Amino acid sequence: MEGAEPGQQQHACSICMEPMEPSQAHRGGADCAHAFCRACLAGHVRAKVESAGGSGGAVVRCPDASCAGALDPELCRVALPSDVFELWCAALCESLFLGARRTYCPFPDCSEMMVADEGEPEGCVTQSECQVCRRLFCARCGVAPWHAGVTCDEYDKLGEGDRGREDMMLLEMANEKKWKRCPKCQFFVEKVEGCMHMTCRCGFEFCYGCGTNWPGTDHSGCTA
């Protein structure tokens, strides 16, 4: 408008094209000259972030077809509902870790996402400490709390009722003393002396070295 003060000149929303007062116009990016009304900006950001679904599309571009500028979350924050802003920030964080090996704290009251150390080969990540709740867990099999003294394979073979703290302590002791389980009843057996031929209390006979039936195959090379 001729003769009007520059600061009082109205703008048109780049999405709905409705006129806006300068105080109602929101710029979305430092490298973008387009301005938007609050409703249109919030709707555009929500639609783009939700449609991306965490697949790396967290960068929201200006809706103007002639503009390649990216919208800045901090510049848009004042115009966005809190849930939209938080959703956008979460998507941006997720996009930073695309391609990285990720794990999540298995404690239900935490579930914090963490990135596995790239220096460790796949399958070797075991004892981990959550960066938020500071509790120990197994990053390899996703078990909480950490199954100290027990391998992931051994833990996986345990029944749901055998995974308590006392059970873990027993397994740790069994590993230290090199006790073996009876292949039939899973009762722990300790060889004090003599040959590899074991007879469990359940009556099952097996080799203490290789764990197979006795006599079965040749056990001359088996060691405890």
The rounded distance, in Å, linking the Cα atoms of 222 and 224 is 7
Q: What is the 3-state secondary structure (H, E, C) of 32-47?
A: CCCEECHHHHHHHHHH
Res. 3 pLDDT band, cuts 50 70 90: very low
Which CATH code, of 3.90.1170.50, 3.30.40.10, 3.40.50.300, 1.20.1050.10, is assigned to 11-96? Answer: 3.30.40.10
The rounded distance, in Å, linking the Cα atoms of 117 and 10 is 53
The rounded distance, in Å, linking the Cα atoms of 145 and 193 is 36
Which sign does the torsion angle of CA 166, 167, 171, 172 carry?
A: negative
The 10s digit of each residue's pLDDT in 137-163 is 887 777 667 776 667 777 776 656 555
- pTM summary value: 0.42
The 10s digit of each residue's pLDDT in 5-21 is 454 567 788 888 899 88
* Cβ neighbour number for residue 86 with a 10 Å cutoff: 11
Contact assessment for residue 196 and residue 207, using Cβ atoms and an 8 Å cutoff: yes
Domain(s) labelled CATH 3.30.40.10 in the chain stretch across 11-96
The 10s digit of each residue's pLDDT in 167-219 is 666 777 777 778 888 888 878 888 877 788 888 888 888 888 787 888 877 77
